[in-house]
Amino acid sequence: MNETKLDLLNYYVLERIRNMSGFPQFLGMARELLPELVRLRRQIHQNPELGFEEHRTARLVAETLRELNIEVTEGIAKTGVVGLLKGQEDGRVVALRADMDALPLEEKTGLPFASRNQGVMHACGHDAHTAMLLGAAMLLSQVRDRLPGRVKFIFQPCEESPPGGAQGMIQEGVLDKPKVGGIFGLHVNPLMPAGTIGLKEGTVMAAADMFKLVIKGKGGHGATPHHTVDSIVVAAHVIQALQTIPSRYVDPVKPVVLSIGTIHGGTKSNIIAGEVKLSGTVRTLDPSLRERIPELMEKMIKGVSSAFGAECSFEYERGFPPVVNHSQMVELVRRAAAKIVGSKRCFPIKQPSMGGEDFAYYVQRVPGAFFHLGVAKKEGPNYPWHHPQFDIAEEALPVGAAILAQIAVDFLRRQGLNEESN
C-alpha cells in the first residue's frame, strides 16, 4: 500500500473519530478500502500457491502488515505469517485467522485475473480470506490508540491438505507469547447472499479423515479373464460394498459421508490389471461413529477381496477433528456482525457442514468461533467450493473485513455478551 492510499485511509478514519464517540463505524471505513481489497484479492487469486508453498502470498502479507506498522513474524510452520498489533495497553489478546493456500485444480472461470499457475486455483476463497484479514488489519491499525489489548493476525499455510498448517502454527507458539484469549475465523459461502452471515453454536464442521486402499489380484490377457483375478472388478465391488456402510450399518440420523476420490489401475485396454489403488475421505460428526468406521471398512474390504481371491492393504488416517464453536464466542460474533450488517442479515446455520477445517485445532485450545460470510453473486451462476469456475461477489470483501475488526474490538472491550447490539 503506497503513502497516498495510507493518507486517504487516515483521513477517513480521523474524520469519523472526530465526529463520533467510541469506535468508528468499520463498514463505512471498509467500503472506502474496496478498491484496495479487490486489488489484493485479485493479486493473490492470480498467483495461487499450494500448501506450504505460499511464499509469494506470505511476502505480500508481510509487506502489507509492515506498511501498517504492525509487528511481523514470518516463516512460522514453513510459510505462515503472524502480525501483532499492540493497543494502548497489554490487556487481552484476540486472534483473527485466515488461510492462504490454493487447490490443485485447473481454473476455468475465464476471468481477466484468472490463475497464472497451471493446475493451481483459489477455488475455495482463501484469496478472499487473506484479503479480508489484511483489510481488518488496516482498519484496526488506525484505531490502535483505542484498543485495550492486542490483536494477532494469523495467516496460515496449508489448510486444504491434512495434516494442515494449524497444528504446526500452534506447535510453534502462535497461540502463546502473548497468550491468545479467543480466536475467530470466517469462510466465504457461495450459497449465501453476499454480505450475509451464517452462525452456529456447537459442531459446525465435520471430522475429515482419509484412507488409502490397494487391491492386488492377478493380471493377464483381456481375452482370458478366467486365468486372472481382475483387480478392477474387485475394486468395483469394494466401492459398492463400502457405500452400504452409511446406508446399512449406521443409524440413519447420524450423518456420515464415505467418498472415493481417486482410483488408478490398468495400463492398456486388453490387459487385465493386477493392481488397483484407491483413496478417499470419510466425514463424521459423532466421535463414537468416527472410531467405528475404520473397523467396518476394513472388514468389508477384506471380505469382498477374499471372496474374489484378491489381496488387499488398507490404511486409515485421522484428519481434522470437528470444528466445535464456543457458544459465548458465537454470540459475540452475532452481535458484532449485527453492528455491521444488521441482525436481519445474520442467519443461524441449522445443520453442520460435512466439510472439514483445521480451524478445529485452534478452538480445541482456546475459545473461538468459525462463521460463514455470504459471497453469492446477484447475477449467477454461483458455483460451489472446489469447482473450476468458483468465484465470489467482491462487494462482500469490506463486510468481512469490517466484521473481523468489530469482533476484535468487542472481544478486547469485553462487549457483545451482555449488551444489545446497535
- Known binding-site residues for Mn(2+) equal 124, 126, 160, 187, 386
For 148, the 3-state DSSP assignment is: coil
State the greatest distance between any 2 C-alpha atoms of the chain, in Å, as a whole number.
Answer: 87
Q: Which residues of 131-144 are buried (b: 16+ CB within 10 A; e: fewer)?
A: bbbbbbbbbbbbbb
DSSP string computed for 76-130 = ETTTEEEEEEE-SS--EEEEEEEE---BS-------TT--SSTT-B--SSHHHHH
Three-state secondary structure readout of 205-267 = ECEEEEEEEEEECECEECCCHHHCECHHHHHHHHHHHHCHHHHHHCCCCCCEEEEEEEEEECC
> Which amino acid is located at 225 in the chain?
P
| Separation CA 70–CA 420 (nearest Å) | 32
List, as residue ranges, the binding site.
124, 126, 160, 187, 386
Question: In 344-396, where does DSSP find H-type helix?
Answer: 359-365
Say if CB 142 and CB 7 are below 8 A apart: no
CA 325 to chain centre: 15
From the list 148, 141, 167, the residue with the least C-alpha distance to 156 is 167
253 backbone dihedrals φ, ψ, rounded to 5°: -90, 0
For residue 353, the 8-state DSSP code is B
| Separation CA 29–CA 370 (nearest Å) | 24
Q: Which residues contact 5 (CB under 8 A, 6 or more apart)?
A: 36
